[in-house]
């Protein structure tokens, strides 16, 4: 299965890998997810929020290295007003001469907020549903519901975002059939991008004693998603390096076609600890050259100066153009 997924990935994308630089601009969170190291109740976390200039500087470092796709990620808390965050989005595009694609990963917000961010220049949005089992979701996310999560994901698609989602393999309290349920749910949603990974325990959380997810099962998930959704952008996530040496590179041999270097400045990055043994490599002097060398060992090459739009997004745009329906139209308007 893995070999077939790799071959299909090569057919659709060649040996090039899209590079998506991530900036973790705040570890402040209003959620109390059982497994997350930056959960609201974890008093051992040194909280931070990068200011506008710090965010722009981190993006600039990636842009100068050839990165043209960026992710602004934070905990689920509105650390900036909507107006302020929109100005940051606009400033990121302006600084990069509008030659980039910008992904947000800031959790559940209102439709109006999503719309404002989109109008300001946010192109993509990544928000994992974590598990498709409502009972398991409720156990791991106190005060939150799976229904609300998917309502937000559908809203993002309707507005016109290139939308990404995924799940957590080995999430605490999962049931025997959840792996298949998660795959079926993700494939049925037809995201433009996928980001999934293993559960990795975090100290000072209620889930600290649960075993980590299976690396082999993660690779199986990558392969099955690639075979089911040949043109999806499938990201190799940082957490894989916590379970296996060169885990992120090995995922490229299982169907992944996106690599996400961490551009967060070191003094902030060490405080964005979602789980134990989180990789802290990437944004240091000479990292692009090292990435090229290491990736070549797996028969891949980083695609610099490319925004890496998902072919599935392009297909959706073509369908919308043929139908004449605006992507931001509500159900009642349709």
- pLDDT tens-digit map of 137-191: 999 999 999 999 999 999 999 999 999 999 999 999 999 999 999 999 999 999 9
* Residue pair 276/201 in contact by the 8 Å Cβ criterion: yes
Please state the domain extents for the chain. Answer: 2-323
DSSP per position, 135-156: HHHHHHSTT--HHHHHHHHHHH
Reduced to 3 states (helix: H, G, I; strand: E, B; else coil), residue 4 is helix
* Residue pair 281/248 in contact by the 8 Å Cβ criterion: no
Separation between Cα atoms, residue 60 and residue 309, nearest integer Å: 20
What does the block give as tokens for 90?
Answer: 């606009």
Q: In terms of Cα–Cα distance, which of 235, 232, 146 is closest to 191? A: 232
Mean of all residue pLDDT scores within the chain: 93
The two beta strands, 233-236 and 193-195, are: parallel
pLDDT at 50: 98
pLDDT digits (tens, 9 = 90+) for 274-305: 876 666 556 667 889 999 999 999 999 999 99
- Residue that has been written with the tokens 């349920």 in this structure: 181
Give the start-end residues of each E strand in the chain: 16-19, 21-26, 69-74, 101-105, 124-126, 162-165, 168-169, 193-195, 197-198, 233-236, 258-259, 301-303
Per-residue pLDDT for 253 more than 70?
A: yes
- Residue that has been written with the tokens 């080995």 in this structure: 170
* Average pLDDT value for residue range 97-112: 97
Separation between Cα atoms, residue 18 and residue 233, nearest integer Å: 9
pLDDT at 318: 81
What are the distances in angstroms from CA 126 to CA 47, 152, 166, 193, 196? Answer: 22, 11, 9, 8, 11
Tell me the pTM. 0.93
Q: How confident is the model at residue 334 (pLDDT cuts 50, 70, 90)?
A: very low
pLDDT at 302: 97
Q: How confident is the model at residue 333 (pLDDT cuts 50, 70, 90)?
A: very low
What are residue 32's phi and psi, to 5 degrees? -120, 45
Q: In terms of Cα–Cα distance, which of 179, 178, 207 is closest to 275? A: 207
pLDDT at 325: 60
HEC letters along 227-274: HHCCCCEEEECHHHHHCCCCHHHHHHCCCCCEECCECCCHHHHCCCCC
* Average pLDDT value for residue range 197-224: 95
Separation between Cα atoms, residue 191 and residue 185, nearest integer Å: 10
Separation between Cα atoms, residue 238 and residue 258, nearest integer Å: 11
Say how many C-beta atoms besides its own lie within 10 A of residue 114's C-beta.
23
- 2-323 belongs to which homologous superfamily? Aldolase class I (3.20.20.70)
- Residue that has been written with the tokens 């077939």 in this structure: 4
DSSP secondary-structure letter at 74? E
Of 39-43, 240-244, 248-252, the one with minimum mean pLDDT is: 240-244
Separation between Cα atoms, residue 231 and residue 247, nearest integer Å: 22
- Residue that has been written with the tokens 């200039």 in this structure: 53
pLDDT at 1: 83
pLDDT at 329: 44
Residues 6+ apart with CB under 8 A from 55: 23, 25, 72, 88, 92
């Amino acid at each position: 299965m893995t070999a077939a997924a790799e071959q299909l990935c090569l057919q659709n994308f060649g040996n090039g890998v899209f590079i998506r630089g991530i900036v973790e601009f705040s570890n402040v969170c209003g959620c109390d997810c059982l497994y997350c190291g930056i959960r609201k109740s974890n008093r051992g976390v040194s909280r931070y929020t990068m200011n506008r200039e710090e965010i722009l500087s981190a993006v600039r470092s990636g842009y100068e290295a050839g990165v043209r796709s960026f992710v602004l990620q934070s905990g689920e808390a509105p650390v900036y007003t909507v107006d302020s965050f929109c100005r940051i989005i606009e400033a990121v595009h302006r600084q990069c001469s509008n030659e980039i694609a910008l992904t947000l990963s800031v959790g559940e917000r209102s439709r109006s907020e999503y719309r404002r961010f989109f109008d300001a220049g946010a192109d993509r949005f990544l928000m994992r549903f974590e598990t498709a089992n409502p009972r398991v979701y409720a156990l791991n996310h106190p005060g939150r519901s799976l229904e609300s999560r998917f309502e937000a994901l559908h809203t993002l698609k309707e507005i016109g975002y290139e939308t990404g989602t995924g799940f957590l393999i080995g999430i605490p309290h999962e049931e025997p059939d959840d792996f298949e349920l998660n795959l079926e749910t993700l494939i049925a949603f037809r995201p433009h991008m996928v980001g999934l990974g293993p559960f990795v325990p975090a100290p000072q959380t209620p889930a600290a004693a649960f075993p980590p997810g299976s690396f082999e099962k993660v690779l199986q998930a990558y392969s099955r998603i690639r075979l089911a959704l040949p043109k999806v952008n499938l990201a190799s996530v940082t957490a894989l390096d916590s379970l296996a040496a060169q885990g992120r590179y090995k995922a490229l041999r299982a169907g992944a076609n996106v690599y996400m270097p961490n551009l967060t400045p070191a003094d902030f990055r060490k405080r964005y600890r979602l789980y134990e043994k989180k990789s802290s490599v990437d944004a240091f002097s000479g990292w692009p050259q090292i990435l090229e060398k290491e990736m070549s060992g797996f028969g891949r090459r980083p695609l610099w100066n490319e925004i890496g739009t998902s072919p599935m997004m392009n297909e959706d745009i073509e369908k919308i153009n043929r139908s004449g329906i605006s992507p931001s139209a509500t159900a009642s308007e349709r």
